[in-house]
Chain A
Amino acid sequence: MALYSEKVMDHFRNPRNVGVIENADGVGEVGNAKCGDIMKMYLKIDDDVITDVKFETFGCGSAIASSSMATELIKGKPVEEAMKLTNKAVAEALDGLPDYKMHCSVLAEEAIQAALEDYYKKNPQHK
């Protein structure tokens, strides 16, 4: 059996929404290099809808795939819906992750929440 599912490998090899959004409406960074994973999410939000999302990740295959999948799951969604994204949903969308890699999906969830919190902080009227 391979280490990762085909889905994980697809998102790892061809990550979606890689990059940076200049003047993003929300930016969130979680993790630390000491533990080997850092994710940074950039959100473009118009009328409380995520119109664009980009990510940068330092980490293993599943960290990169989790970031990529998480961006796919929230792109075009209202912020309220994105706020409810769980790590479980990310892992399931990837057809599962090995147990010891589940923390990668948790980081993806946290990175998106951090970016949304940044957005709310900058735009308190929207909360």
Chain B
Amino acid sequence: MNTSMKIYADNAATTKMSEASVRTMLYYMENQYGNPSSLYTIGQEAKEALEQARADVAAVINADPREILFTSGGSEADNQALLSAAEIGRKNGKMHIISTAFEHHAILHSLKRLEKQGFEVTLLPVHEDGIVIPSEVEAAIREDTCLVTVMYANNEIGTIQPVREIGAICRAHNVIFHTDAVQAVGHLPIDVKEENIDMLSASAHKFHGPKGVGFLYARKGVLLTNLIEGGAQERGKRGGTENVPGIMAMAAALKESAANMDRDAAHQKELRDRLIRGLSAIPHSALNGDAQQRLPGNVNFCFEGIEGESLLLLLDDRGISASSGSACTSGSLDPSHVLLAIGRVHDVAHGSLRLTIGEDITEEEVDYMIENIKDVVTYLRGFSPVWRDLESGKTPHIL
């Protein structure tokens, strides 16, 4: 066995910064350290660079540069989007919000807070395939609905949501539509105008940019509420001196990701499907989420009779970095809310494995992963009392 192989298969958690992104970041740290709010030359140069970055980011999603607000990342963008839409709703006496059961916690926990403030929240089911049904969104819309927030693609199971259809429905009903596109930006083509998206959140470190920076797109006319009060930065909607090196590096990374998107996605999809085929050969396993309507790099499986954390540790020993929706990896007793939302029972959800492959993944690496995952799953099942009961027929197989 080739133990020297190192495969980073957790790109949904974070990505390695691209060379262009690192170079840009260093350049702005070393050379362009001016404060964009200062009136002298180096300040104004930083300001110009910042506005170029805003234009570059906007172009990737077909937004107007004035509609882009730089934030500290996806979570901040999600928080500000929901708070802002809720404030607009409150002013209009509309206190109902529609979302889904498998959103990121930046959304779900923000919704919990809004519920405490008197908002009513409807969480739509995401069904066995992990995809929201647009007609169910429409059916849930009420007179007092102020916001629909549905993620663009799920972070755990990678399923891509019918954003365009949901956007059209929301526009027809005059309801603000926000999408947490943290997993999608830089990986899928997005057009906020064509897709009728009013607000969108993104995070740089998911597309080979730095951590601690992201952006919120808010369509002209959607009034934002500040999370951070301060100076006049970001059109007064987010106080604090701009993270110029981070923002510039984000723009550099996004431009590159967008330019290579078609080529990268085709390559990733091919190897993603090879990985899915290989892992499907493991008995009593199942792919989580729709096989086709999913992110180019996402593979997520459940294996009956084993627990995810021990699987991850043994894969780590073999040079494979992956993640799991097991409770043991979260520090709670419940497995991933996403897996529960698609109907996986607890017993099975504990045995989940998420592999999110990068753009530079090779066939050899995929085959190495298949071989080693098979090996480790078989090994762990070998002394699992759950597996013994399943195999002896004492308890029925679910998968």
Chain A positions near chain B (C-beta within 8 angstroms): 9, 12-13, 15, 18-20, 29, 33-40, 55-61, 63-64, 100-101
Q: Which one of B173-181, B249-257, B325-333 is at the A interface? A: B325-333
- Bound CA span A100–B331, Å: 6
Determine whether the beta carbon of B347 is less than 8 Å from that of A33: yes
Q: Which residues of A contact B317 (CB under 8 A)?
A: 13
Determine whether the beta carbon of B335 is less than 8 Å from that of A38: no
**The one of A34, A36, A57 that contacts B328, using a Cβ cutoff of 8 Å:** A36
| Contact-size category for B | 20 to 34
Determine whether the beta carbon of B386 is less than 8 Å from that of A38: yes
A-B contact pairs, 12 of them (CB 8 A): A15-B383, A20-B388, A33-B347, A35-B327, A35-B346, A36-B326, A56-B384, A56-B388, A57-B383, A61-B313, A61-B328, A100-B331
Closest 8 CB pairs of A and B: A60-B328, A60-B309, A33-B347, A40-B385, A58-B386, A36-B350, A34-B346, A58-B384
Determine whether the beta carbon of A57 is less than 8 Å from that of B309: no
- Bound CA span A82–B388, Å: 26
Determine whether the beta carbon of A36 is less than 8 Å from that of B335: yes
Binary flags per residue of B297-337, CB closer than 8 Å to A gives 1, else 0: 00000000111111001100100000000111101010100
Q: Which residues of B contact A40 (CB under 8 A)?
A: 385
- Bound CA span A100–B317, Å: 23
CB distance from A56 to the nearest CB of B (A): 4
Majority secondary structure of chain B interface residues (helix, strand, loop or mixed): helix
Determine whether the beta carbon of B326 is less than 8 Å from that of A39: no
- Bound CA span A83–B181, Å: 55
Q: Which residues of A contact B308 (CB under 8 A)?
A: 60
Binary flags per residue of B332-349, CB closer than 8 Å to A gives 1, else 0: 010100000000001100
- Bound CA span A60–B386, Å: 13
Residue of A nearest to B349 (CB): A36
Determine whether the beta carbon of A61 is less than 8 Å from that of B350: no
Determine whether the beta carbon of B350 is less than 8 Å from that of A33: yes
Determine whether the beta carbon of A35 is less than 8 Å from that of B386: no
- Bound CA span A84–B30, Å: 64
Determine whether the beta carbon of B383 is less than 8 Å from that of A39: no
Q: Which residues of B contact A59 (CB under 8 A)?
A: 307, 310, 328
Q: Which residues of B contact A101 (CB under 8 A)?
A: 328
CB distance from B323 to the nearest CB of A (A): 13
Determine whether the beta carbon of A38 is less than 8 Å from that of B385: yes
CB distance from B372 to the nearest CB of A (A): 15
Q: Which residues of A contact B309 (CB under 8 A)?
A: 60-61
Binary flags per residue of B155-196, CB closer than 8 Å to A gives 1, else 0: 000000000000000000000000000000000000000000
- Bound CA span A63–B384, Å: 12
Q: Which residues of A contact B329 (CB under 8 A)?
A: 60
Q: Which residues of B contact A60 (CB under 8 A)?
A: 307-310, 326, 328-329
CB distance from B349 to the nearest CB of A (A): 9
Q: Which residues of B contact A64 (CB under 8 A)?
A: 310
**The one of A15, A19, A33, A55 that contacts B346, using a Cβ cutoff of 8 Å:** A33
Q: Which residues of B contact A63 (CB under 8 A)?
A: 307, 310, 328
